[in-house]
A and B are shown apart, each in its own frame.
Chain A
Amino acid sequence: MSTNRIKSSYNSWKAAFVFLFPFMLLYGFFTIYPLFNGFIMSFHTGRFGIGEEFVGLANYIKMFSDKHFYGALLNTLFFVAISTPLIVVFGLLFAVISNSRFKGANFVKIATFLPYVLSISVITSVWVYIFKPHIGLLNNVLMNIGLISEQIMWFDNSLFAWTTITVATLWWTIGFNMIILIAGLQDIPHSLYEASSIDGANRLQQFLFITLPSLSGVLKMVILLQVIASFKLFGQPWLMTGGGPGNSTTPMVQYIYETGFRDWNSGYASTLSYMLLFIMVIVAMIYNRLTKEKEV
């Protein structure tokens, strides 16, 4: 959409300033300034101003030999890798179901979408009580049906702990992606499907050769959004597993939080934050490159 040059009387710097000022003031002060300030902090030690000392690259060097950092980074990457496909695939599945003409379709749409408006503390609380050993829903139901004879310690085993986090996240966010994908599905012209069924294509073929390709733009975006959201993982492990057992479910953001607000090492925490930001930007850039090539 081109914005044609309009009357020069409106092109006053003064007007632009008035319109932009409130936003830019807050934006500059609370987004841009911290960005630079954080960068500077990453070269210092200290506790948010107390005992601040310039240490050059020391924090960065420390980070590269910090087992904890690699552990937390791997945890975050692990979560991104397992949750993204699950959430996108299920999102697509539910989008197809909700968009279909069957009677229960709208019901599914509402039921799947509802969790999205609930707060993270409600979600994690409900799922913790579902997974809790001894008094939780899942173990007791499984025991009553006879599927298990001993309590499963969902929070004492790192794989199980990740499962609880992933399931809760899945349930919470499928709805969001589903909505975007439904919009994408509805944009696909019916004529394509009609033409193909005349040609004798069955449902599966239609899905693979019409739906998926038409959705490719939307899917790419959904995947990117989901990846970014997964990188920011904090609430679910914090409230469900505490990052445990041990550090096995501690993601980067929690490590940053602990370094800054438990160990009070704000300099090193800044370093870690920058690393996270850097990695996220790289991932986004690589992703963009990859998806662009496909289109060409």
Chain B
Amino acid sequence: MKKIMVWLLSLTLMMTVIAGCSNEQDNSNNTGATTGDAANANETSDTNTTKGELVFWTPFGGGDYEFMKEMVDEYNSTSPEYTVEIVSKAWDTYYQGINGALISQSGPDVFITHQSKLAELIPTQQLQNIQEINSSIDWNEYNESQLAGVTVDDVQYAVPLDTHAAVMFYNNEILERANLTAEDLASANDMESWNNILEALLPVISQDEHVLDIANSGANTVQQFWSWYVLAVQDGGGYLEGDTVIMNDEPGVEALDILIDWKEKGYLKSGIDDGASYDIFKSGKAAINFTGVWATGNYETNPDLDFGVMPIPAINGQQKTWGDSHTFAIPSYVDGERQEAALYFADWINSHAVTWAKAGHVPAKKTVTESEEYLNLPYRSDYAKVVDQVVYYPSNEKLWSANDIAAKLINTAFIGDITSQEALDLAKEEIEAIME
């Protein structure tokens, strides 16, 4: 037994040393597999002028994280009163962590939250009213609808960072095979012309290629949910109205039937999980891909991929799409001075968000989106148009739970276990049950 004790203790010691060495790399690493430079030094300012450090939680990984970190490093190099330490938290348990921090009143000094999550977090009473924090921010610089999005009952709970929406990526090379151009796609303003395009693409793809690339399998079928959402809202339908589910109305059911129809016609292949869907388009194996603007940075890393991106056309009625926003929130338990520093930091990042735009998101400040630098970025200026086409989620405390339920049931209909109407009726039942 002594042997084991000695062994265990010495191993722990060894591990401590190793962890200590790798700790210095910690700040420049994240949990994603990136080609991030491990020698990325953390810019710390002169200790004489630094009063302390703000802890900044983000759910970002991969490219998003790299861009945000770039901006944070730049911020820190301006020798601010409080430097910022950016933390990359695992996405799967991010909001468990946020809720845990808010409820226990101990955690980050500033954090990223989706605008659609605000309704869930506000009841913790730990989201600081931004207007009560001293600042010299010119709120006119911000996009009005985004500001409206973070304001509930006249209280501003967060600072907008960006909007990101579902768009359509297309592969020029595959389009060419079917004698199609981007204009053809853009002018597909009704179901008939859209289906004609899909039909034209089917014969020109090989066995391991896809006409439509939309994730529809595995533990995360959110792309499928968003695609349904886009089709439903284009037709004037909806998802939730207050605490009432309206997704099982006619437009909703029809939207789901359309997705199933695409599968049956062979345009959509089943068994594609979320991660695979990105890889498939990136490696040039899909003609069309519906996903968020954030995929732009990822797709650009493949120089052999000849692709374009545009707002999803008005396939099913009006040209509308899905979208959400990232925002900065500051917890109430953070003390006054740090709150001011956090707010200053958030606004600074927003002013320099051209870098963030490289990730594909549309920055919240008009000064940025109207700037030459931004407009010169490829594709990005188109995205600004998309922002106006977004039909945002309604504000609802149980929204994300509802999304989870909806995505699961939509998937159940997609794989053929039940009909669309049945699935959406069930969704209404289950979602309204948790809303009470």
Q: Is the CB of B123 within 8 A of A47?
A: yes
How many Å lie between the Cα of A241 and that of B273 in the bound state?
Answer: 11
In the assembled complex, which residues on chain B have CB atoms less than 8 Å from the CB atom of A258? 401, 404
Q: Is B434 an interface residue (CB 8 A)?
A: yes
Q: Is A211 an interface residue (CB 8 A)?
A: no
How many Å lie between the Cα of A265 and that of B276 in the bound state?
Answer: 33
Q: How large is the interface on B (under 10, 10 to 19, 20 to 34, 35 or more residues)?
A: 20 to 34
Q: Is the CB of A50 within 8 A of B415?
A: no
Identify the stretch in A9-17, A191-199, A242-250 within 8 Å (CB) of chain B at 4 or more residues.
A242-250
Q: Is the CB of B434 within 8 A of A263?
A: yes
What residue of chain B has the Cβ atom nearest to residue A139's Cβ?
A: B271
Given contacts A134-B276, A156-B270, contact A242 B219 (CB under 8 A): yes
Given contacts A47-B103, A244-B411, contact A156 B217 (CB under 8 A): yes
Q: Is B301 an interface residue (CB 8 A)?
A: no
In the assembled complex, which residues on chain B have CB atoms less than 8 Å from the CB atom of A151? 271
How many Å lie between the Cα of A49 and that of B401 in the bound state?
Answer: 20
Q: Is the CB of B434 within 8 A of A265?
A: yes
Q: Is the CB of B218 within 8 A of A155?
A: yes
Q: How far is the CB of A67 from chain B (nearest CB, A)?
A: 8
In the assembled complex, which residues on chain A have CB atoms less than 8 Å from the CB atom of B272? 134
Q: How far is the CB of B7 from chain A (nearest CB, A)?
A: 16
Q: Is A66 an interface residue (CB 8 A)?
A: yes
Given contacts A50-B125, A244-B408, A246-B411, contact A153 B434 (CB under 8 A): no
A-B contacts counted at CB < 8 A amount to: 70
In the assembled complex, which residues on chain B have CB atoms less than 8 Å from the CB atom of A48? 103
In the assembled complex, which residues on chain B have CB atoms less than 8 Å from the CB atom of A244? 219, 408, 411
In the assembled complex, which residues on chain A have CB atoms less than 8 Å from the CB atom of B218? 155, 242
Q: Is B81 an interface residue (CB 8 A)?
A: no
Q: How far is the CB of A241 from chain B (nearest CB, A)?
A: 7
Encode B206-219 as 1/0 by CB contact (under 8 A) with A: 00000000000111
Encode A142-179 as 1/0 by CB contact (under 8 A) with B: 00000000010101111000000000000000000000
How many Å lie between the Cα of A135 and that of B434 in the bound state?
Answer: 37
Q: Is the CB of A245 within 8 A of B411?
A: yes
Q: Is B96 an interface residue (CB 8 A)?
A: yes
Q: Is A294 an interface residue (CB 8 A)?
A: no
How many Å lie between the Cα of A82 and that of B81 in the bound state?
Answer: 62
In the assembled complex, which residues on chain A have CB atoms less than 8 Å from the CB atom of B125? 50
Contact among B124, B220, B400, B412 with A246 in the assembled complex (CB-CB below 8 Å):
B412
In the assembled complex, which residues on chain B have CB atoms less than 8 Å from the CB atom of A153? 217, 270-271, 415
Q: Is the CB of B219 within 8 A of A262?
A: no
In the assembled complex, which residues on chain A have CB atoms less than 8 Å from the CB atom of B273? 132
What residue of chain B has the Cβ atom nearest to residue A241's Cβ?
A: B219
Q: How far is the CB of B271 from chain A (nearest CB, A)?
A: 4
In the assembled complex, which residues on chain B have CB atoms less than 8 Å from the CB atom of A247? 408
Q: Is the CB of A246 within 8 A of B276?
A: no
What residue of chain B has the Cβ atom nearest to residue A156's Cβ?
A: B415
Q: Is the CB of B99 within 8 A of A264?
A: yes
How many Å lie between the Cα of A7 and that of B36 in the bound state?
Answer: 69
In chain B, positions 39-96 with a C-beta closer than 8 Å to chain A are 96
Q: Is the CB of B408 within 8 A of A261?
A: no
Q: Is the CB of A134 within 8 A of B271?
A: yes
Encode A252-286 as 1/0 by CB contact (under 8 A) with B: 00000010011111000000000000000000000
In the assembled complex, which residues on chain A have CB atoms less than 8 Å from the CB atom of B219? 241-244
What residue of chain A has the Cβ atom nearest to residue B269's Cβ?
A: A134
Encode A43-60 as 1/0 by CB contact (under 8 A) with B: 000011111000000000
How many Å lie between the Cα of A246 and that of B416 in the bound state?
Answer: 11
Q: Is the CB of A262 within 8 A of B404?
A: yes
Q: Is B338 an interface residue (CB 8 A)?
A: no
What residue of chain B has the Cβ atom nearest to residue A133's Cβ?
A: B271
In the assembled complex, which residues on chain A have CB atoms less than 8 Å from the CB atom of B271? 133-134, 151, 153, 155-156
Q: Is the CB of B409 within 8 A of A246?
A: yes
Q: How far is the CB of B4 from chain A (nearest CB, A)?
A: 15
Q: How far is the CB of A135 from chain B (nearest CB, A)?
A: 8
What residue of chain A has the Cβ atom nearest to residue B405's Cβ?
A: A247
In the assembled complex, which residues on chain B have CB atoms less than 8 Å from the CB atom of A132? 273
Q: Is A203 an interface residue (CB 8 A)?
A: no
What residue of chain B has the Cβ atom nearest to residue A157's Cβ?
A: B415
Contact among B123, B412, B433 with A245 in the assembled complex (CB-CB below 8 Å):
B412
Q: Is the CB of B123 within 8 A of A50?
A: yes
How many Å lie between the Cα of A133 and that of B218 in the bound state?
Answer: 10
Q: Is A220 an interface residue (CB 8 A)?
A: no
How many Å lie between the Cα of A51 and that of B415 in the bound state?
Answer: 40
In chain B, positions 91-138 with a C-beta closer than 8 Å to chain A are 96, 99, 103, 120, 123-125
How many Å lie between the Cα of A60 and that of B124 in the bound state?
Answer: 25
The 9 A-B pairs with the shortest beta carbon distances in the complex, nearest first, are A242-B219, A133-B271, A246-B412, A156-B415, A263-B401, A153-B271, A246-B408, A261-B96, A48-B103
| Known contacts A158-B417, A244-B219, A245-B408; 15 further A-B pairs (Cβ under 8 A) | A50-B124, A67-B430, A153-B217, A153-B271, A153-B415, A155-B217, A155-B218, A156-B271, A157-B415, A241-B219, A242-B219, A244-B411, A246-B411, A263-B401, A264-B120
A-B contact pairs, 5 of them (CB 8 A): A50-B124, A151-B271, A153-B415, A156-B217, A246-B409
Chain B interface (Cβ < 8 Å from any Cβ of A): 96, 99, 103, 120, 123-125, 217-220, 270-273, 276, 398, 400-401, 404, 408-409, 411-412, 415, 417, 429-430, 433-434
